[in-house]
Structure 1
Amino acid sequence: MFIALEGGDGAGKSTQIKRLTRNLQDTGHTVLTTREPGGSPMGEEIRDLVLNPAYAPVGARTEALLFAASRSAHVETVIRPALQRGEVVVTDRYLDSSVAYQGAGRGLGTAVVRDLNTWAVSGLMPDLTVLLDVSAATGRARRSSRTEDRMEQESEEFHDQVRQAFLDLAAQSPDRYLVLPADSPVPALAERIAARAQEILGARRLP
């Protein structure tokens, strides 16, 4: 099973990934957790290129291509092999992040960026995408205690566009998406996410 957690910066994805991983492991599943950009040796090098403020400014098309290249390496060397071994893969961000950030936020066009990344990963999509929905203002407040990367430093208008793009993607793929308010209590969110993941896994075990 392939699970992606999506949402704006400061949504709390890392916290929920830890809780989901523990839940899956406690019920007997082997879990690989990973992240984007990054996830593979090549991807981690590209992560520094696209997120480090020292490299600004980065053109929108350059940024989109770098993210797609990182994702292609991630899928080829990490995600697909783990799925073939029968593991559950949980990733912090995936293809829909590029659609939201570069397609909508950068104005490149969501269809163009979706098609580029779908090609880069040979069509591999998550079985479940969890969207932790957070406003730009709330996300920035949650990030106030840490140094922001280049994407996080963007304006509230940019992050509002990203948020709306995620909500649009969820509306287009309701069977794949689970949309949850990121400001809900952490344990309650974890319970909802785990329940949905276990539901999908349980259905696959049926004859």
Structure 2
Amino acid sequence: MNGMFITFEGPDGAGKSTQIQKLAQYINDKGYPYILTREPGGTKIGDAIREILINPDHTEMVDETEVLLYAASRAQHIREVILPALHDGKIVLCDRFVDASIAYQGYGLGVSMEAVKAINRFAVGELEPNRTYLIDISPEIGRERMTKRQTHSQGSEDLDRIEQKNLDYHQRVREGFQRIYIENKQRICLVNGNQPPEDVFKAILSDFESMLEQQFHLRGD
């Protein structure tokens, strides 16, 4: 497996989708082979699961179902999309991965951390990102950004099922991400999401370019 697996994480409204698009454009301009994908989704099956997960009408969904659906989408995604791309030597940019399940279902929902991790170990096997960019913001700022985004597009009522949860939940998610970072500093690059988007990207790009240099050096290219 000669590719590079890069994931983006952060609380809702952190701007990770904007930043992953910026990095994808940079990689494309440099001519490196890559794919850009997301979770939940990324495959036909995964996208169908995504529609179930984020539909705000599904208020009756129990926590255990949420954990299993995210893991099911991830298992399909890995085997159908991510692993083949990595074996082809591509850079895989993925919007969310296992860290999101630990933060959102483990810390946010309060599901047994042991259960969340065990279910995801079964789903992903030995796969782990080479680097994770964790963009950190407060839940208050995240909610403000999401509301503005929806107002400018389709209306503030269009926040999805997860985004609509209360601020206490989103605060637990943020604290979860911070704990995940503390436990995985060798893998995770923590970025202050309160900066202008251009400055956030500069921090990400600086780290990414260092990773590329190391990768090529190790290969002897």
Same fold (TM over 0.5): yes
Give the share of equivalent positions with the same residue, in percent: 38
The one-letter amino acid paired with 1:109 is S
Give the match for residue 125 of structure 1: 128
Give the match for residue 194 of structure 2: 183
The one-letter amino acid paired with 2:130 is D
| 5+ residue gaps, structure 2 | 151-157
Contact 1:100 1:110 survives alignment (8 Å)? no
Larger Rg: 1 or 2? 2
Deviations 1:52-97 (A, max 9, x none): 0122220000110000000000001011111111110111111110
Question: Which residue of the other structure, out of 141, 144, 148, is the alignment partner of 2:147?
Answer: 144
Give the match for residue 185 of structure 2: 174
Q: Distance in 2 between matches of 1:20 and 1:156?
A: 30
Contact 1:21 1:33 survives alignment (8 Å)? yes
Deviations 1:165-193 (A, max 9, x none): 00100100101001111111111111111
Give the match for residue 41 of structure 2: 38
TM-score, scaled to structure 1: 0.97
The one-letter amino acid paired with 1:96 is D
Is 2:151 the partner of 1:111? Answer: no
Give the match for residue 75 of structure 1: 78
Following superposition, the deviation at residue 123 of structure 1 comes to: 2.0
Contact 1:96 1:114 survives alignment (8 Å)? no
Return structure 1 stretches of 4+ with deviation > 3 angstroms: none
The one-letter amino acid paired with 1:88 is I
What pairs with 1:23-62 in structure 2 (closer than 5 Å)? 23-62=26-65
Q: Distance in 2 between matches of 1:91 and 1:148?
A: 22
Q: Distance in 2 between matches of 1:203 and 1:115?
A: 32
Q: Tell me which moved more, 187-196 or 2-11.
A: 187-196
TM-score, scaled to structure 2: 0.91
Is 2:16 the partner of 1:16? Answer: no
Question: Which residue of the other structure, out of 160, 165, 170, is the alignment partner of 2:176?
Answer: 165
| 5+ residue gaps, structure 1 | none
Contact 1:40 1:78 survives alignment (8 Å)? yes
Q: Distance in 1 between matches of 2:171 and 2:126?
A: 28
Following superposition, the deviation at residue 28 of structure 1 comes to: 2.6
Count of residue pairs the alignment pairs up = 207
Is 2:16 the partner of 1:5? Answer: no
Q: Tell me which moved more, 185-194 or 3-12.
A: 185-194
